[in-house]
Structures are given as structure tokens and as C-alpha cells.
Structure 1
């Protein structure tokens, strides 16, 4: 998609006055970008598709605020920030994307119950708008409309303290979700303050690293001991490759754990790799090969997305091996070997901090 066309569509998204129009614009952009995927540089494609997602989500929030005012609920009573988690937080969404979100709002001076009720209702409208636009809710209910993920700054601070003090598997998973969070709308300083609490707790709870390491390494890279690709053996995806959980997620998780250990607040994986070099935690040569491997995994993950009958895109993370050329297969094997090397490095570095 040429820049003038894309910029015009982004402008139209930013001024859409109803959800239906927003859905139509999203579909137009996606159809045009799907055609570009085979030939576009993957980093540029990823940046552009995530720019579209961001614009659509921001406009959905704008429309929700306007709906609250129309209903007589007024404007937001205190400053707030809307967060994206998961691939949205990392700016790594594909043509398909679900909702992983949260809200942090400034502590109210008074009428805290009324403030909480306002953001509960606002979040319900936002989630409904986004669902109408084509973003299904997160299956794990990590959503701003879930009261557990829509809190004042002090409530968030107490919740983080609790998760760090009781590092059960679910709590550690939530902490890693927070690590990927970024502000998509509103007051970014509130997200900065939330991250301040997160990294302060990290310093005060070194044992949490062991739990995070266990979580980080739970997904195994899909390459066998003889260098062969490990394909799905059963079901309708038999013969396919689990790109999401066997290649992409292991690298995302490894780079994230290396980053949070040294206080890096960037959320995108490629940005985190660059910051690890800057922090002296990774050599430039290692960073170069990890970036190259990750770009391939981004492209393959984008290739797993397919359009459904309702016009939406679905992505189960599986890719038919028949879609890979011999050159891509060789590149994937090389990238997966690097993924295994990275997991070993993460284990060694993290355990070194614990001893």
C-alpha cells in the first residue's frame, strides 16, 4: 500500500464517527496489506499493520468516551491510561488480533466508588466497540472490562505487591503480561508509574526470577536433536508447524526475561534486543543474528493468518510446511537452533543472578 493511500486511510480511521465505519476501514486496510505481505520487508509491514491496529483501537476508545457523554455519564472523572498487553503491547499483532487490555486511572480524591463505576462502564463499551470492529475478547479474560484489570494506580501497586509476594504460576503469568504492557491511549505517565512499581518489586523479590524462568522456558523450540522440524502429529493440523508456540513465543519470552532483569521498559522484541546491547547484556554480533532470526519468525507468523467467511482474520499459529520454500525451511531450522541457544543463555544468565 503506497504511503498516500495508507495515510489517507489512517486519517479516515481517526475521524470515523461510528463503529460500523471503523470496521469497514479496518477491513479495507487489511485486504490491501494482505496483498503486500509476500513482497514487503517484514519489519516495515509489521510496523504499518500495528500502526493501523493502534489507530483503530484509539478511535474505538474515543467513540466509547463520546457514548458515555451521550448517556449522561460525563467525561472521565480522573486521568487514565488504556493499556495493551500481549502482542498488542509488543507491537507485534498480525492481521488478526484479540483483545488483551487493562486500565489504570489516577487515584480519586473522593467518590472513589463513582469513579470506579465510570471506568467499569467505559471499559465495557470499549470492549464491545472493539469486538464489533473485529477484535474478539481475550480467552483468559485479561480485559479492561474485567474489574481485576481496571484499577486505580494505588490498587495496581497493591496487586503487584501481592503477585510478587505470592509467586504462584498464575501470578507469575500475570506479572509477565504486565511487563509487555504499553499505553495506547491516555496518560502515559500512569503506565510509567505502574512500571515503576513493577521494577521496584522485581529488585525486592529476586526469587521471582526463578518462577519467571520456569514460565519462560516452558515452550520448547520445534527442532529435534537431529535438526529436524517437529511437526504436528495429530488432528486437522497434522503435518503443520506450530510457529507461534514452537518458534515465536520461545524467542519473545527469552528476550523479555533478559530485558526485565535489567530494567528495560521497551516492549517490542526487536527494541528489547537493541536495548540489551546498549545495556551491555548482549553482544552486537549475537543481537544481529537474533534480530535476523526474529524477523523470519515474524514473517512466518504473519503467514499463519487466514481470512474467514465473516471477513475477519483467524490465526492459530500453525503453518503448513508446504507453504515453505526450501530456503525458508533452511532459514527456519537455523533460527530455531538460535532459539535453543538463546534459551540456554537465558537459563545460564538467570541462574547466575540467583546464586
Structure 2
């Protein structure tokens, strides 16, 4: 895959159809690479660099479209963030939109009204444009067209303070979403101020830390005591493995919480593992083992993307058992045993520090 050439094509694209064509060609190429014996990390890194470039180009075209509507330019600086797998730089062939937007405060109510109108229109245009090139909106509505996720910095700070003050399950879930936030475009200083408001405080609240642990341990790995893999028993996915929620998400959750506890700013899972190694929170052997296990899971998660009835790529996270031969199952089982051990270690450490179950 000629990454440099693809990036040039994306940056020079003037229409959404051109971007969609590029994305579909990239999906085909990456799918072919996965069937060959390529290392997964370079593939994921290149794929996510292309995702980033596509989304940034959509933002530029959306600004131009918004200007044609009569809203000529952003009235104040703004920062556009990705959450979820986009924030972690771990998007697959099929990826939805998880995003937020923060913009600067205005000097008076008239400016504030103008800014709300501009960014409301821009957010809607971004979402519609990304959908047009193949990124469906987040099912949970964590997206810039939702006014709750497109706010001035002062309103965002008040919202986050309320989440800290009332650590309900939903509010803690939102704080965990913010922990994966990655600035993709816009004003870097505004982005730093926004993340700096909350990122260092999350683990200083015992109630929130306990709730975060509960959330982190909610998804169990799909391996039994005797080494058997747990498969789906019913429905159209019967016999398949839920790689997303039974392998990938448990590992994401573990290293997110460990990184938050250590005040590590990295958002990618492998970046968090490396940072934990560098500060001595993970030994070299443990970090190598964890990184190896995550790479196994990452590859299988990519393989869990498939075409839907319309021919578009979709990512259910379910891997058909036929895809896993004996050679694939052995490393998966080893990776899952590592993940299960890490879950238990994390639970014990967090209980010693914060109490709880």
C-alpha cells in the first residue's frame, strides 16, 4: 500500500465521491494484506493514518460547504476530537463516527449565538459528509451533530464538573469516553486546555475510580477455566467468537485504567503499554507479553470486519469460527489467558487502593 501516494490523493480530493472511492480502494488493499502474512501493527498504523486524513479532508470540505451557506468562517477557534477506536488510533476497515467538538468562549451573547449557529451547522455537515463516504454515525449519539458534544469550552468544563460531582454509571462511562479523546484537527491550545481540565483528576476521586474499575471488568474474556473458547450460541452469529467484546475491549479497558492511574496521556493501547513500561509500572517482560497479546487480538479484530448485504464493510466484532484454524486458536487462547490474568491483577490493585468489591 503506497501510503504517501494515498495521502496526496486524499489531500487533493475535491469531492466526497473521490474520498469514498479512495476509502473503498484502501479497504480492499488492507483486506488483501491481512490474508497475507504481514505484521498487523504497521497495517493498523497505516490504516488509521488514512482514516485521519480522510476525516481531516472532510472537515475542510465541510467548512467550505458551511461558508456557502452564508456562515463564512469559524467565529472562534475550535478543536475536533475523536473518541473510541478513532481516539485510540485503532480503527478497523469498518469504523463509525465517535467525535466531539469544543470551541472558544465568546465575548458577548450575540457572538455566542453566532458561534452556536456556526458550529451546529458545521457539525451537521461533518456528520452527513462522513456518512456519505462510509462512516456511519455513532449509535450512542456521541457525535458532533449532537449539541451535547459540540459546546464552548466553558460549557464543556461545567459539564465535566457535573460528571465528576455525580459519578453515576452513565457519567463514568462518559468520563471513560473522554479518556480516549485525541485531537484530530483545530486549535491545539484549546484542545490541551480541554483535556487538561479533566484528564489528571479522574483517578483522584475514589467513587469514580471504583465505578471505572467496575466498568473495566464488565466485559469478561471469552476463554474458560479449561481453555475452551466461548462462542455465540444463538442467532445468525451462532458459533462465532465475539472478538470485540470478549478480547479487544477487555484489553483496551485494562490499559486505559492503568494509564489513567499513572497520569499517562497516551491514548493508543500499545502506546499506553509502552508508557507503563517506561515508568516501571510494567516490567519489560510483562509489557512485551501484553503487547504481543494485544497484537494477536488486534489482527483478529480486523479480520472480524466483513461486507454487509449492500457490499459495504461492516464490523460486528464477531469472527466466524471457520476463520480460526488450529494455528490461529493457539495464540488467541494464550492472549486471552494473559488478558484474564491482567484483569485479576488490576482488580486486586485497585481494591487495595480504593476499596470496593
TM-score range (shorter-chain normalised) is over 0.9
Match of 1:94 among 85, 92, 95: 92
Partner residue in 2 for 1:217: 217
Counterpart for residue 149 of structure 1: 149
The SS at the match of 1:104 is strand
Q: 2: CA distance between counterparts of 1:11 and 1:309? A: 32
1:79 matched to 2:77? The reply is: yes
**C-alpha separation in 2, matches of 1:137 and 1:199:** 26
Find the residue that maps to 1:293 and give its secondary structure: helix
CA gap of 1:200–1:36, structure 2 versus 1, over 3 A, is closer
* Mapping 1:213-252, distance limit 5 Å: 213-252=213-252
Give unpaired runs (5+ residues) of structure 1. none
Q: How does 1:108-119 map to 2 (within 5 A)?
A: 108-110=106-108, 111-119=111-119
Match of 2:277 in 1: 277
Tell me how far apart the structure 2 counterparts of residues 156 and 312 of structure 1 sit (CA, whole Å): 35
String of CA shifts for 1:46-71, please: whole Å, max 9, x gaps: 00111111011000000000111112
Q: What is the alpha-carbon distance in structure 2 between the residues aligned to residue 193 and residue 23 of structure 1?
A: 34
Deviation at 1:352, TM superposition (A): 2.1
Question: Residue deviations 1:317-339, cap 9 Å, x none?
Answer: 11112211212101111111101
Aligned pair 1:13/2:27, yes or no? no
- Which secondary structure state, in structure 2, belongs to the residue aligned with residue 103 of structure 1? strand
Match of 1:38 in 2: 35
Q: 1:186 to 1:109 in 2, by over 3 A?
A: same
| Structure 2 residue aligned with 1:312 | 312
Q: Tell me the CA shift for residue 203 of structure 1.
A: 5.2
TM-superposed CA distance for 1:9, in Å, is 2.0
- Residue 281 of structure 2 aligns to a residue whose secondary structure is coil
Deviation of 1:349 (Å): 1.8
Kept in 2, the 8 Å contact 1:96–1:314? The answer is yes
Give the superposition deviation at 1:113: 1.6
Query: Following TM superposition, by how much is the alpha carbon of 1:28 offset from its aligned partner in structure 2, in angstroms?
Result: 1.4
Q: Report the alpha carbon displacement of residue 224 of structure 1 after superposing the two structures with TM.
A: 0.8
Deviations 1:96-153 (A, max 9, x none): 0000000011112231121111111100000000000100000000001100000111
Does 2:133 match 1:136? no
SS of aligned partner of 2:237: coil
**Residues 27, 311 of structure 1: 8 Å contact kept:** no
Q: Secondary structure at the match of 1:236?
A: helix
* Aligned match of 1:69: 67
Check conservation: 2:200, 2:263, Cα contact below 8 A: no
**Correspondence for 1:197:** 197
Counterparts of 1:88 and 1:227, CA distance in 2: 32
Answer whether contact 2:81 2:99 (CA < 8 A) is retained: yes
How many angstroms does 1:191 deviate by? Answer: 2.1
SS at match of 2:119: helix
Offset of 1:199 from its aligned partner? 2.6
Mapped contact 2:224–2:230 kept (Cα < 8 A): yes
Q: How many residues are treated as equivalent by the alignment? A: 352
Would you say the 8 A contact 1:290–1:338 is kept in 2?
A: yes
Structure 2, gaps ≥5 residues long = none
TM-score normalised by the chain length of structure 1: 0.97
Determine helix, strand or coil for the equivalent of 2:201.
helix
| Distance in 2 (alpha carbons) for counterparts of 1:58 and 1:310 | 26
Could you tell me whether the CA contact under 8 Å between 2:78 and 2:103 is conserved in 1?
yes
Residue 29 (structure 2) pairs with residue 29 (structure 1): no
Mapped to 1, the partners of 2:148 and 2:316 lie a distance apart of: 27
Q: Is the 8 A contact 1:161 1:201 kept in 2?
A: no
> Which residue number in structure 1 is paired with residue 207 of structure 2?
207
